[in-house]
Amino acid sequence: MYGKTSNGRRAFLKATALSAVAMAPGLRGAKAETQANSPDDGFKFEVRRTEEEWRAILTPEEYHIMREGGTEKFNESPYHAEMPEGTYACKGCNLTLYSSKWKKVVDMGFVFFKHAEPNSVLTGLDIFNPYMKKKEPDALTEVHCRRCGSHMGHILIVTKGNMLHCINGTSLQFTPASA
């Protein structure tokens, strides 16, 4: 159904966008800034770095996804089909965002969770998303790391009305549960 490029995710996101808008009207997201937080962004993240500092700690792909709001390619993350026990942290600041107890394997090529850990993510409207090509505004509910503002993915209605966090595995660092 979906190709092996980001076009599959675009089609998937486009199909779920109206549901996402209905879930979260009026929210304003904390945009991931490439510079240490600008005075007009309205939110001061705990972890603030310059663009050069972010580029030094992230690969070009991680930087594009986490700091510029990009999307990884379909089936690219090894986490999309795995279910080991453990936690998933933000690669930008190491804040634990998700637990394997909330992970759902959905055959759509991306990493899905039912919930984030408490006080770990911020959400807002992604009203400038590239997936919408309509004349009227549409938006997706975007997910960011609460500590550093890095873009993680979106919250979508996937199947049978289930809302799931559709997260870029590229943005995550997995730590297995200790035995």
Find the CATH number of the domain harbouring 27: 2.170.150.20
For 26, the 3-state DSSP assignment is coil
The residues that are catalytic are 166
Number of domains in the chain: 1
Cβ count within 10 A of residue 134: 8
Residue 84 lies in a domain: yes
Residue 114 lies in a domain: yes
The tens digit of pLDDT for each residue in 35-62 reads 343 434 567 899 999 999 999 999 999 9
Residue 93 lies in a domain: yes
The tens digit of pLDDT for each residue in 6-29 reads 444 444 444 443 333 333 333 334
64 CB-contact burial (10 Å; exposed 0-12 / middle 13-18 / buried 19+): middle
Q: Is the distance from CB of 29 to CB of 122 less than 8 angstroms? A: yes
The tens digit of pLDDT for each residue in 80-114 reads 888 889 999 999 999 999 999 999 888 888 899 99
- Sign of the Cα pseudo-torsion (10, 22, 129, 143, in order): negative
Residue 1 lies in a domain: no
Domain range for 115 is 6-176
Residue 111 lies in a domain: yes
List b or e across 148-163, with b for residues whose CB sees 16 or more CB atoms inside 10 angstroms: bbbbbbbbbbbeeeeb
Q: Cα 52 to the chain's mean position, in Å?
A: 22
Residue type, 69: G
